[in-house]
């Protein structure tokens, strides 16, 4: 029995220290990582539609298509609009699903793969410094850890 539960049984209010020790920090870290990676995906999508500038228009998306062409300089120019739309659909879907917590195994794995592909494309087109500066591989690594945690079937609660 943990200290918080023992305090309740003793008829007293658990101390702050007992409450802090009772938190499952692994689960809290997983929740934090899911929200951080999911929010990063959604932030990128918001940017490409001008939502951060509060000017929703397709001019921003046209600029994103040009950026996608630069990042994927090794692909045929005709494939770029499709790549841009697919990236947007995947980032939106994965961002929402990470935050909500649905299908954590496959969503985390998909996030890791998408980020690794993006980081690799950046490295090919701009050099290794670019994806390192934007922590793309770090986010991919965090998603790998989320996937590994989900695949091991960790069912522990946020607070014990």
Structural domain for 127, as ranges: 25-151
pLDDT digits (tens, 9 = 90+) for 125-135: 999 999 999 99
| Residue 5 maps to a domain | no
CA distance 138 to 151: 20
Residues 61-86: b if buried by 16+ CB within 10 A, e if exposed: eeebeeebbebbeeeeeeebeebbee
Choose the weakest-confidence range: 16-20, 40-44, 111-115, 137-141.
16-20
- pLDDT of the residue at 14: 67
Under DSSP, is residue 159 helix (H, G, I), strand (E, B) or coil? Answer: strand
DSSP line for 103-142: SHHHHHHHHHHHHHHHHHHHHHHH-THHHHHTTHHHHHHH
| Residue 41 maps to a domain | yes
| Residue 84 maps to a domain | yes
- pLDDT of the residue at 160: 36
Q: CB-based burial of residue 57 (10 Å sphere; 0-12 exposed, 13-18 middle, 19+ buried)?
A: exposed
pLDDT digits (tens, 9 = 90+) for 35-92: 999 999 999 999 999 999 888 888 999 999 999 999 999 999 999 999 999 999 999 9
CA distance 128 to 150: 30
| Residue 62 maps to a domain | yes
Nearest to 7 by CA among 56, 20, 83: 20
| Residue 98 maps to a domain | yes
Query: Percent of the chain having pLDDT more than 90?
Result: 74
Per DSSP, 53 falls in state: T
Q: Taking CA 135 as the corner, what is the angle to CA 60 and CA 146, rounded to the nearest 5 degrees? A: 105
Q: Helix 136-151 to helix 25-48 angle, to the nearest 10 degrees?
A: 130
- pLDDT of the residue at 75: 97
Number of separate domains in the chain: 1
| Residue 14 maps to a domain | no
- pLDDT of the residue at 119: 98
């Amino acid at each position: 029995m943990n200290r918080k539960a023992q305090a309740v049984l003793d008829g007293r209010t658990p101390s702050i220290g007992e409450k802090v020790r009772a938190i499952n920090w692994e689960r809290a870290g997983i929740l934090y990582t899911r929200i951080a990676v999911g929010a990063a995906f959604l932030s990128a999508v918001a940017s490409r539609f001008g939502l951060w500038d509060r000017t929703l228009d397709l001019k921003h998306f046209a600029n994103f298509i040009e950026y996608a062409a630069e990042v994927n300089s090794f692909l045929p120019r005709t494939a770029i609009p499709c790549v841009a739309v697919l990236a947007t659909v995947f980032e939106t879907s994965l961002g929402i699903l990470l935050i909500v917590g649905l299908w954590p195994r496959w969503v985390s794995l998909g996030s890791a793969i998408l980020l690794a592909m993006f980081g690799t494309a950046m490295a090919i087109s701009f050099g290794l410094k670019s994806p390192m500066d934007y922590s793309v591989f770090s986010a991919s690594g965090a998603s790998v850890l989320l996937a590994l945690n989900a695949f091991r079937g960790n069912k522990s609660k946020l607070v014990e």
